[in-house]
Amino acid sequence: MNKKTLIIPAAGKGSRLKTSAPKIFTKLYGHRTIFDFIMDQAEVFFDRICLILSPSGKDYMNKHIARTHENLDVMVQPAANGMFDAINIALASLRLKNKNENIFIQWGDQPFVDRDLYNSLGNDLKRADAAIPLVWVRDPYVQFKFLNNKTVTILESREGDECDEAGFKDIGLFAFRENSLLKAWEKYLTVNAKGSITNEKSFLKIIPLMLEEGVIYWRTDQPTYKSLGINTPEELSESKMFIDQKRFSMSFKKQLL
Give the whole-angstrom CA distance, residue 104 versus residue 121.
Answer: 9
Residue-wise pLDDT tens digits, 230-245: 999 999 999 999 999 9
Give the whole-angstrom CA distance, residue 248 versus residue 14.
Answer: 29
Residue-wise pLDDT tens digits, 16-34: 787 888 999 999 999 999 9
DSSP string, 58-81: HHHHHHH-----TTEEEEE-SS--
Tell me the average pLDDT across 193-221: 90
* Least confidently predicted of 47-56, 58-67, 248-257: 248-257
Neighbours of 98 (CB within 10 A): 12
Q: Is the pTM of this model over 0.85?
A: yes
Q: Where does residue 104 fall: left (phi above 0), alpha (psi -120 to 50 degrees), or beta otherwise?
A: beta
Tell me the average pLDDT across 144-154: 88
Going by C-alpha positions, the residue among 194, 167, 169 that lies closest to residue 83 is: 194
- pLDDT in the model for residue 98: 57
- pLDDT in the model for residue 257: 46
Give the whole-angstrom CA distance, residue 70 versus residue 24.
Answer: 19
> Please, what is the average pLDDT of the chain?
90
Is it the case that residue 253 has pLDDT exceeding 70?
Answer: no
What sign results for the dihedral spanned by CA atoms 85, 136, 104, 189?
Answer: negative
Q: Are 3 and 47 in contact (CB under 8 A)?
A: yes
Which string of b and e fits 44-66 if b means at least 16 CB within 10 Å? ebbeebbbbbbeebbebbeeeee
Residue 99's pLDDT band, with cuts at 50, 70 and 90, is low
What are the helix (H) ranges across the chain? 34-42, 55-64, 83-94, 115-124, 178-189, 206-213, 233-256
Give the whole-angstrom CA distance, residue 103 versus residue 17.
Answer: 29
Task: Write down the CATH superfamily of domain 4-251.
Answer: Spore Coat Polysaccharide Biosynthesis Protein SpsA; Chain A (3.90.550.10)
- pLDDT in the model for residue 206: 93
Give the whole-angstrom CA distance, residue 92 versus residue 49.
Answer: 15
Neighbours of 75 (CB within 10 A): 19
User: Residue 143 forms beta bridges with which residues?
Assistant: 155
Domain boundary assignment for the chain:
4-251
| Angle between helical axes of 115-124 and 34-42 (0-180°, round to 10) | 50
Residue % of the chain over a pLDDT of 90: 66
